[in-house]
C-alpha cells in the first residue's frame, strides 16, 4: 500500500520517493505533475499512441512543442492504448502502486475504463486521485468540454481585460491552465500532509473555471459592493507609449501620483483639481476613454 511506503524527503527534494501517474494532457494537469517532479517525485507520463495533443500545438522541435517540452519535463514516458484491455490492465497495475494519480478525462471516462477513484481506492486506500476538468465533476456544466480560453471568458477574466478598443480580450498566455495546475499542486500537497496522519487518500476535484474565478475574488466583491462595474483603480496606472518606447505606470498611494508628475515633467497635473485624487482621476480618465471608443466606432 502507498500509505506503508516511507518517503525520503529533503529540502531539495521534499517529494523524494513519491510515485505519480500522470494521465493528463495539455497544460493544467501535466503542469501539476511536473511541479511534483520538480520537488523530487517520480512521475510517469502516460500518453495515448497518438501522443499528448500538446505535442502538436505550435511549432514542433523533434517530437515536442514548447508546451509539451516545458510542462512534461522531468517525467518518465509510457505509451498505453487505453482502448485495449491490455493497456487498461497495465494502467491499473501501475495505479495500484502509486501515491498520486492525475487524470483529465471527460467526466465518467476514467470510471468506465476501470481506473476511477472508487475502484482504485479499494485496493489502494492511500491513493490521492486528482481530476482536472473545465467545469468540475458535478453540477449542470460538468459534462461540457472546455479550454483555457473558455475558462478565461466564463470566469469573467476577459471582462476586466478591456483594450483601448473597448473590447474584452483574452490574456495572452494560458493563465487559466497554469493557475489550475498550481491550485491542483497545492491541493495535493495539503492532502499528502493530511494522509500522513489520517492514513487514507482522497479524490480531489479541480477545474479551470473555478480556479480562474479564484483569481477574481476582489473584483467580484467590488462589483457587488459598488452595484455594478467598479471604477478603475490607481488611475493613471497603465501602459503608455512614449517617444522612445512604452512605459508601465502603477500607483498605490496619492504621494506617488505627485512624484510621477514630477518625473515626467508635468507638475501642472499634480495641482490640477480634476486630478486631485484616485476617485476624481478615475472619472476624468473613464470619460475620456469612453469618448475615444465612441469616436472609433463612428469611424467604422
Q: Which residues are catalytic?
A: 177
Cα 268 from Cα 43, distance rounded (Å): 61
CA atoms within 13 A on the CB side of 189: 14
If we measure between CA atoms, which residue out of 238, 255, 254, 235 comes closest to residue 246?
238
Please classify residue 103 by burial: count the beta carbons closer than 10 Å to its beta carbon, then call 0-12 exposed, 13-18 middle and 19+ buried: buried
d(CA 15, CA 8): 7
**Please, which residues have CB within 8 angstroms of residue 64's CB and are 6 or more apart in sequence?**
55, 72
Cα(71)–Cα(36) distance, integer angstroms = 11
Pairing of strands 76-79, 42-47: parallel
Amino acid at each position: 500500500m502507498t500509505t506503508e511506503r516511507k518517503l525520503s524527503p529533503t529540502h531539495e527534494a521534499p517529494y523524494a520517493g513519491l510515485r505519480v501517474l500522470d494521465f493528463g494532457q495539455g497544460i493544467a494537469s501535466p503542469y501539476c505533475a511536473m511541479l511534483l517532479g520538480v520537488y523530487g517525485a517520480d512521475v510517469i507520463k502516460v500518453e495515448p499512441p497518438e501522443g499528448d495533443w500538446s505535442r502538436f500545438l505550435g511549432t514542433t522541435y523533434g517530437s515536442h512543442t514548447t508546451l509539451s517540452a516545458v510542462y512534461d519535463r522531468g517525467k518518465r514516458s509510457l505509451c498505453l492504448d487505453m482502448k485495449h484491455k491490455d493497456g487498461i490492465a497495465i494502467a491499473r497495475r501501475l495505479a495500484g502502486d502509486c501515491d498520486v494519480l492525475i487524470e483529465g478525462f471527460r467526466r465518467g471516462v476514467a470510471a468506465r475504463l476501470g481506473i476511477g477513484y472508487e475502484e482504485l481506492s479499494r485496493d489502494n486506500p492511500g491513493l490521492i486521485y486528482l481530476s482536472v476538468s473545465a467545469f468540475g465533476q458535478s453540477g449542470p456544466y460538468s459534462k461540457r468540454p472546455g479550454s483555457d480560453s473558455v475558462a478565461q471568458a466564463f470566469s469573467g477574466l476577459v471582462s476586466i481585460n478591456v483594450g483601448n478598443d473597448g473590447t474584452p480580450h483574452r490574456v495572452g498566455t494560458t493563465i487559466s491552465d497554469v493557475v489550475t495546475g498550481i491550485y491542483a499542486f497545492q491541493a495535493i500537497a495539503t492532502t499528502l500532509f493530511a494522509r500522513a496522519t489520517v492514513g487514507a487518500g482522497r479524490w480531489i476535484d479541480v477545474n479551470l473555471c473555478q480556479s480562474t474565478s479564484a483569481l477574481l475574488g476582489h473584483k467580484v466583491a467590488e462589483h457587488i459592493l459598488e452595484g455594478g462595474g467598479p471604477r478603475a483603480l490607481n488611475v493613471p496606472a497603465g501602459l503608455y507609449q512614449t517617444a522612445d518606447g512604452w512605459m508601465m505606470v502603477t500607483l498605490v498611494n496619492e504621494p506617488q501620483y505627485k512624484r510621477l508628475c514630477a518625473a515626467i515633467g508635468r507638475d501642472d497635473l499634480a495641482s490640477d483639481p480634476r486630478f486631485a485624487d484616485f476617485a476624481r482621476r478615475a472619472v476624468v480618465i473613464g470619460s475620456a476613454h469612453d469618448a475615444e471608443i465612441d469616436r472609433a466606432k463612428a469611424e467604422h
